[in-house]
Every structure is written in structure tokens, then in C-alpha cells.
């Protein structure tokens, strides 16, 4: 597992990052909660940054992905993040504390693929629940985020999110094809989510 603040490795059992001191209690102090009182829709875009039609296309894509991969939860969060807070911290907190629309026993937060966008900073990140993390490689996710950077810079947020989700879907399909011959024992291995930055 990696610390959402400094990205250095941390023991899964550790309550606090040895390098920077970050802990779940820090995220609780910053963002509050712990009782899953925050409800996160599949598309969070309260400031309406997505262009006309983009939201609909992203929603359709999320529905297609969830149909193909019924054990996974796909969602996106567009929000300006206050100074001094990393997108990875927001993703860490949301996956730990938010009630995500559509989440349940078969599709818990641990299986989430969350794309975060800060339109002010022009930054995009991805937070993965620990089971989703076992399916998607970190360096590959960084590449997908970097490839969507052009759309992000041009404020085509829906297009950027769509690009990343489409390629995540392709990667998952390839992974599923490989798993037919060899079931993934890694699905039951505990880990933690991490955030990638473009
Ligand atoms: Zn740290």
C-alpha cells in the first residue's frame, strides 16, 4: 500500500505513514465523517464543468462498464480541491467514507475505480479500491491519465474521463480473458487503494 499523501510505501497494518505522518484520522479531521453520511453519485459534477452531452456519454459508458464487469464500481468526481489537499487524499477519503451510488455487497467501495478531476488545477487522478488495484497496474494507469491530458488541458473533462474509462475497460477485458485460463487468486489478497496523478 502507498500513502495517499507522499506516495511512499506503508505497511497495510500501519495506522500512520512513517514518512509524512498521514493517517485515516488525518483525513477524517480534514474532511469529517466516518459514518458514510457522504453520498457520492456515479458522476459528481456539482459545478457543472462537463459540457452538454458529455455527462450523458460518461454515464452511458459507466453503465456499459458496470454491465460488463458487474463486480466493479465506476465513478468520477469533478471538484475543485482546496489548496494544500492532494487529489489522492480526496480519493482515499471518498473510498473509505462515502456511500457511492450503486455500491453494495456485490459491488463494494473496495471494488471501485474512481477518476478524480480538479478543473482548477487541471489535474486528474485515479483512486482504486484495493480489489480493483489488484486488477489494474499502476504504471499503466499513469499512462492512461497522461494520455488524457490534452483533453483535460482543453477543459474537455467528459472527454478526458471517457478516454480513461474506455481504456480501463479494454485493459479489464484483456485481464478477464487471461483469467479464464487462470483464475485470479490476487482478488482475495488485501491491499489498499492508491491515487495516480497525471
Ligand atoms: Zn506519507
| pLDDT single digits (tens) 18-30 | 888 887 777 777 7
Q: What is the distance in A from the centroid of ligand 1 to the CA of 3?
A: 5
Q: How far is the CA of 97 from the centre of ligand 1 (A)?
A: 19
Is the pLDDT assigned to residue 32 strictly greater than 60? yes
- Residue 196 pLDDT more than 70? no
Is 8 part of a structural domain of the chain? no
Supply the pLDDT for residue 34: 58
Give the pLDDT of residue 185.
55
- In the predicted structure, residue 76 carries a pLDDT above the cut 90: yes
Q: DSSP secondary-structure letter at 5?
A: T
Residue 188, pLDDT score: 41
- Measure 10 CA to ligand 1 centroid, in angstroms: 8
- Is residue 140 in some structural domain? yes
Q: How many Å lie between the centroid of ligand 1 and the Cα of residue 84?
A: 14
Burial 31-54 (b: 16+ CB within 10 A, else e): beeeeeeeebebbbbeeebbeeeb
- Range name among 51-55, 60-64, 152-156 with the lowest pLDDT average: 51-55
More confident residue, 152 or 4: 152
List, for residues 81-139, the tens digit of each pLDDT value.
Answer: 988 888 988 998 888 888 888 888 888 988 999 999 999 999 999 999 888 988 998 89
Which domain CATH number covers 156? 3.10.310.50
Task: Say yes or no to pLDDT of 195 above 70.
Answer: no
Domain with 142 in it: 36-197
Q: Ligand 1 center to residue 6 CA distance, Å? A: 4
Q: Judge contact between 43 and 59, C-beta under 8 A.
A: yes
Closest CA to 7 of 142, 145, 183, 151: 142
Identify whether 148 is part of a domain. yes
Cβ–Cβ under 8 Å, residues 80 and 138: no
Domain count, the chain: 1
Start-to-end C-alpha separation, the chain: 19
Bridge partners (DSSP) listed for residue 76: 43, 115
16 within domain boundaries:
no
Q: At 43, is the pLDDT very low, low, confident or very high (cuts 50, 70, 90)?
A: very high
Tell me, yes or no, whether 19 lies in a domain. no
**How far is the centre of ligand 1, averaged over its atoms, from the C-alpha of 8 (Å)?**
6
Residue 150 lies in a domain: yes
In a domain, 48, yes or no: yes
pTM (predicted TM-score): 0.82
2 within some domain: no
- Classify strands 195-197 and 112-118 as parallel, antiparallel or unpaired: unpaired
Amino acid at each position: 500500500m502507498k500513502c495517499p499523501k507522499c506516495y511512499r510505501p506503508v505497511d497495510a497494518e500501519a495506522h500512520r505513514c512513517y514518512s509524512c505522518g498521514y493517517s485515516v484520522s488525518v483525513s477524517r479531521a480534514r474532511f469529517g465523517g466516518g459514518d458514510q453520511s457522504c453520498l457520492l453519485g456515479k458522476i459528481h459534477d456539482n459545478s457543472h464543468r462537463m459540457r452538454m452531452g458529455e455527462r450523458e456519454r460518461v454515464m452511458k459508458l459507466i453503465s456499459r462498464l458496470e454491465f460488463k464487469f458487474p463486480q466493479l464500481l465506476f465513478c468520477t468526481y469533478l471538484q475543485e480541491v482546496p489548496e494544500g489537499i492532494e487529489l489522492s487524499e480526496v480519493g482515499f477519503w471518498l473510498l473509505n467514507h462515502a456511500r457511492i451510488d450503486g455500491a453494495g455487497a456485490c459491488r463494494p467501495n473496495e471494488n471501485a475505480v474512481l477518476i478524480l478531476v480538479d478543473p482548477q488545477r487541471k489535474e486528474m487522478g485515479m483512486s482504486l479500491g484495493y480489489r480493483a488495484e489488484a486488477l489494474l497496474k499502476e504504471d499503466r494507469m499513469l499512462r492512461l491519465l497522461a494520455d488524457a491530458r490534452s483533453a483535460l488541458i482543453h477543459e474537455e473533462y467528459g472527454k478526458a474521463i471517457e478516454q480513461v474509462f474506455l481504456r480501463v475497460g479494454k485493459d479489464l477485458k484483456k485481464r478477464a480473458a487471461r483469467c479464464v485460463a487462470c483464475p485470479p487468486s490476487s482478488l482475495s489478497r488485501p491491499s489498499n487503494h492508491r491515487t495516480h496523478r497525471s
